[in-house]
Structure 1
Amino acid sequence: MRFFIEFSYNGSNYHGWQRQPSQTSIQERFEDCISKILSSNISLTAAGRTDTGVHAKKMFAHFDYDKEFDCLKTIHQLNSFLPNDIGVRNIFRVNDDDHARFSALSRTYRYLLINRKDPFMQKRAYLLKNKLDIKKMNEACKYLLSNDNFKSFSKSKTDVKTYICDIQEASWTQVDDNTFIFKIKANRFLRNMVRAIVGTLIEVGQNIITIDQFNDVILSKNRAKAGYSVPAHGLYLTDVEYDIN
């Protein structure tokens, strides 16, 4: 039988989702805990593999288990035993061929940017004191919707088979005088893609490159042409969509 888990985490204290040989990961903590509770060696497959320091407000993973169990009780047990920076919202039965990663229709990320120092947002938002032209940045975002090859924003050394992604939404919102949020939704994302996009859009907002030059960066399919990767701690996975009954 296959089950989905919906959960969230603050990634500040972890070296990403995926198990690491000598570093603490969210997957390691989660699998160790649920394996003890269910008295079985449980392996979790997540909707995505977030990098070191990246947060998730809504993440899904699936696991296989051959016995009936009380989902609500298990949620309570997990939330009691897991660290405070990992929280479980739901566990539910799905079809045996439903897959947390491959059945996902879309994923949505948000990047949080502030331009004034805030002690309460440390490790939760990227502090950038430079003034930004949000209007220009949103104009540049239109090129993200009209292109589909994003090799320019992918980590250089990767074994990915295709750089094609269908970006459905991409925009900046100014929440208040000091807070800006970038939202991007796509069927899939490349390694480091969102952070590289944000860094390059910041260059548009600072008039380092023009809107058309942003498109040239995409068309170049060359990571060296794109801007810097912004810090991981401002990035949040906020939604994963499925067509699952």
Structure 2
Amino acid sequence: MRYFIELSYDGTDFHGWQTQPNGITVQECLDKALTTCFRQNITSLGCGRTDAGVHATQFYAHFDVVDLPETTVVNAVTSINALLPYSIAIKQILTVNNEAHARFDATARAYQYHLHFEKDPFKINRSWMFKGELNLDKMNEAAQLLLNFTDFSCFSKSKTQTFTNNCKITKANFEKIEGGLIFTIKADRFLRNMVRAIVGTLILVGKGDIEIAEVAQIIESKNRSNAGQSVPACGLYLVAIEYPFIQALKN
């Protein structure tokens, strides 16, 4: 039977989500815990990839279990959490159709980027400290331009294995919070490094280094070298993944 597992993690000490030979990853830790708990070799498949240092307040993965009662699996949250480091937390396990896919069945994803303006020891590795003044209104006006485009090659890391760089962004805005800003962006899919590159480009608008209209020109160029630098990974959070069938299960 196939199951979806919902989890969250602090990505500071991990080399991203996906298992790799040169560093510890979230997937590696999860698969070891699942294998130990259910006493069979289990490999999970995540809803996407997060890079080293990136966090997730909501992340889904699917995995298959053979010859175990459904209740045993869905009620194993506490046992699995006991096998995981404190930086990874399991929220729930859901029974799904055997064809359900954590990556391909997601209809929308949302990220947030956190930045703050003054030194704060409690935000180390959780937010990016930006030194300087930013024009919030101009950044939000520039962010709205993103909704008018679909090809975001200019914000994508080169040499990726994607078949298309098209994405449909439905939300993009900065919100002022005490001592900082939070940027929220929602789309049907994201390219590698896309959010961090978008934030880096909008920061240029906020600093006055480029004009709002230049953001559209950068997107139309489809050239990564024309966009801003990627902001640090520490401020990036995957915050929501949407699946129609999971919403139906919760209702």
Structure 1 alignment gaps of length 5 or more: none
Letter in 1 for 2:42: I
Q: What is the RMSD computed on CA atoms of the aligned residues?
A: 0.9
> CA, structure 1 residues 72+162, in 2 after alignment: closer, same or farther (shift >3 Å)?
closer
Kindly indicate whether residue 156 of structure 2 is the aligned counterpart of residue 159 of structure 1: no
Structure 2 alignment gaps of length 5 or more: none
Paired position in structure 2 for 1:205: 206
TM-score, normalised via structure 2 length: 0.95
Which residue of the other structure, out of 109, 112, 118, is the alignment partner of 2:111?
A: 109
Provide the rounded CA distance (Å) in 2 between the counterparts of 1:12 and 1:227: 24
Q: Give CA-to-partner distance per residue, 1:123-161, whole Å, 9 cap, x none.
A: 000000111001000000111100000000000221211
| Identity level (%) | 46
Letter in 1 for 2:235: G
Q: Give CA-to-partner distance per residue, 1:168-222, whole Å, 9 cap, x none.
A: 100000012x210000000000000000000000000000000000111101000
Provide the rounded CA distance (Å) in 2 between the counterparts of 1:221 and 1:156: 11
Letter in 2 for 1:96: N
Paired position in structure 1 for 2:78: 76
Paired position in structure 1 for 2:33: 33
1:81-230 to structure 2, matched below 5 A, reads: 81-176=83-178, 178-230=179-231
Paired position in structure 1 for 2:16: 16
Provide the rounded CA distance (Å) in 2 between the counterparts of 1:222 and 1:94: 41
Q: Give CA-to-partner distance per residue, 1:26-58, whole Å, 9 cap, x none.
A: 111110111011011111011111000000000
Paired position in structure 2 for 1:239: 240
List structure 1 runs of 4+ shifted beyond 6 angstroms. Answer: none
Provide the rounded CA distance (Å) in 2 between the counterparts of 1:157 and 1:102: 21
Letter in 2 for 1:97: E
Letter in 1 for 2:8: S
Note the C-alpha offset of 1:72.
5.0
